[in-house]
Amino acid sequence: MNSPTVGRRVSDTDMRVIRVRSSIELGNEIFHLVGKAGERGKSLTIWDLRRMLDAPLEKVFVALRALEHERLITRGMPTHDVLSAPITLTEDGREIYFS
C-alpha cells in the first residue's frame, strides 16, 4: 500500500496519489448516482450531486468533467445556470452501467 508511514513527511507525490484516488472514487459515486437516476427516468444536476455527496463543488465538477471526457455522461443545455444542466449517461455509459 502506498500510504505514508508514521514519522515520514507526506511528499507531493503522495498527495497527488491521494487526490487521484479520491477523484476516482468520487467519479464512481457520481456515475452510480446518475445511473440510478436514469433508471427512474430522471436526471441530476451538478447542484444535486454536490448536495447528495456532500462534497466541494470544485471536486464534483472535476470528477464530472473526467466522466464527460471518457464519454460516460453528458450534460444537457442549462436553462439559466450552467450548474443546473441535466446530467445523464451516454449510450456507452448506459452499456457499462447496465452490464
Phi-psi category of 7—alpha, beta or left, where left has phi over 0 and alpha has psi -120 to 50? left
pLDDT on residue 77: 84
Map residue 92 onto helix, strand or coil: helix
Give the pLDDT confidence of 5-37 residue by residue, as tens digits: 555 666 666 556 566 667 788 999 999 999 999
C-alpha cell at 53: 455527496
Q: What is the pLDDT of the chain when averaged over all its residues?
A: 83
Q: Which domains are assigned to the chain? A: 13-97 (1.10.10.10)
- pTM recorded for the entire structure: 0.76
φ/ψ of 83, rounded to 5, equals -80, -5
